[in-house]
Structures are given as structure tokens and as C-alpha cells.
């Protein structure tokens, strides 16, 4: 074992870990910008075709800054957020079971892009108590290998970090999967017993800004590990 001074250990760690995280960050940032560009172009194309179906349908892209953008698809709002930090997985995660990571542990360091699904009306009417859901997470490593966790197609189509390299085709596929999922994920009315009582404050607030909590599965058990719609 090397007998290194504290100064040497600091430099060694900077070289081995901090530079690695910079590589992961820039790979993730590049992928996020590609995702943003594809979402913008796709929204423009879909808007033209949606208008031919029904003039009331709105498909809209909004750039919210370097690390966030929104894609409105009719009544749904997809929010894409890139985390600015790089993550490691705990030793119980399945990523450690494959030979790709066993051969080089630094391949497990990943950047993260989260995909959220909200109701567009939640933001339109400032319903701050409304709920949204994380429907997908994209992880990208130093070699641009990736995998995704999520609902429906994202749960099984993009879970092979060993062989999957992020590119425009796969980014488009993930985006389309996210859109299809949120369109199929309907708003259910909550059970009567869960809403039969309401305070005067809630009612007064509701008349002003619709603060009665709304969510696609409010009042129902939402199982994060299930790919079925309840």
C-alpha cells in the first residue's frame, strides 16, 4: 500500500474522483441539451398535427433555464430536470451485479435527469397542494452508457447499462415513452370518504385558487414499483 502524504492523497483523489465527476457531468449536460432540443422540435411537429385533430389541443415547449424545461401535452405537464451533482449507488443496487461495473467501479458514477408528470392546471391555477409524480430517471456515466428507471416502457426498455449508449435515437425514444405514459395515466376521482369533510378555510381558499388537493391518483395507493394503472 502506498504511503502518501495528505497533500498527495488530496491530489490523487482529485485526479481519480473529481475529474471523473466532471466527465460524468458534461456527458449528462450534453445529453440533457440534446433531450431539450428534441423535445422542442417534437412539440412543434406535434402541435401542427394536434391542431388538425382538435384546435383546442395544445402542445407547448418552455425552456426554464440551463437545467430545466417543460413540455405541455394537452392537460399534462412533463417537467425535465437535470441534477447538477453526480451520484454513486449503494452497494445493494443491482448495478453492482453486472460485469461492466465490476471491471471498473468508476463506471457506476452517474449524472441524473428526472422526469416529472403534473397536471397543467396545477400550475395554471396555482394549486400549490396538487401532486405530481416522478415517472422516470435517466442515469448517464463517464462512457455515455446509461439506464433508466421508471414506469411502463422505461422500466424494461432502458435498463441495460452494459450495452446501452446514449444517443439521439434513444433520447427520442425515452421522450416518446414518457409522453405516452403520462397521456395514459388518467385523473381518478378520490373515494368519497376521503373528501366528505372540508374546512371553511379550505373552501374559502378553494374559491380563490382551487387549493383542494388534486393528483392523478389522489386517494388511491400509487405503487412506484408497479407498471399497471390502478
**197 CB contacts (<8 Å, ≥6 apart)?**
none
pLDDT in tens, the chain (230 residues): 468 888 888 888 888 889 999 999 999 999 999 999 999 999 999 999 998 999 999 999 999 999 999 999 999 999 999 999 999 999 899 999 999 999 999 999 999 999 999 999 989 988 887 888 899 999 999 999 999 998 777 777 899 999 999 999 999 999 999 999 988 876 666 566 666 666 667 666 665 544 555 655 543 333 443 444 33
Sequence-ordered alpha helix ranges (H) in 54-140? 99-103, 120-124
pTM of the model: 0.83
Tell me which H or E stretch contains 32.
helix 19-53
Cell of 29: 449536460
Half-sphere exposure of 170 (CA within 13 A, CB side): 21
Amino acid at each position: 500500500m502506498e504511503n502518501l502524504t495528505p497533500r498527495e492523497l488530496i491530489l490523487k483523489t482529485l485526479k481519480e474522483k473529481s475529474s471523473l465527476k466532471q466527465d460524468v457531468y458534461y456527458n449528462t449536460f450534453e445529453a440533457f441539451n440534446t433531450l431539450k432540443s428534441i423535445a422542442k422540435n417534437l412539440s412543434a411537429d406535434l402541435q401542427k398535427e394536434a391542431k388538425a385533430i382538435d384546435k383546442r389541443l395544445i402542445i407547448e415547449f418552455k425552456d426554464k433555464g440551463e437545467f430545466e424545461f417543460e413540455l405541455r401535452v394537452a392537460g399534462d405537464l412533463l417537467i425535465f430536470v437535470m441534477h447538477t451533482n453526480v451520484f454513486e449507488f449503494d452497494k445493494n443496487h443491482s448495478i453492482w451485479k453486472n460485469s461492466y461495473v465490476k471491471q471498473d467501479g468508476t463506471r457506476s458514477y452517474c449524472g441524473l435527469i428526472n422526469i416529472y408528470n403534473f397536471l397543467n392546471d396545477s400550475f395554471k391555477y396555482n394549486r400549490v397542494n396538487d401532486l405530481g409524480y416522478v415517472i422516470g430517471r435517466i442515469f448517464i456515466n463517464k462512457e455515455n452508457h446509461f439506464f433508466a428507471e421508471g414506469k411502463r416502457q422505461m422500466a424494461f426498455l432502458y435498463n441495460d447499462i452494459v450495452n446501452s449508449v446514449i444517443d439521439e435515437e434513444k433520447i427520442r425514444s425515452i421522450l416518446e415513452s414518457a409522453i405516452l405514459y403520462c397521456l395514459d395515466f388518467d385523473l381518478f376521482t378520490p373515494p368519497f370518504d376521503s373528501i366528505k369533510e372540508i374546512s371553511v378555510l379550505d373552501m374559502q381558499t378553494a374559491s380563490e385558487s382551487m387549493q383542494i388537493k388534486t393528483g392523478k391518483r389522489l386517494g388511491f395507493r400509487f405503487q412506484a414499483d408497479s407498471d399497471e394503472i390502478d
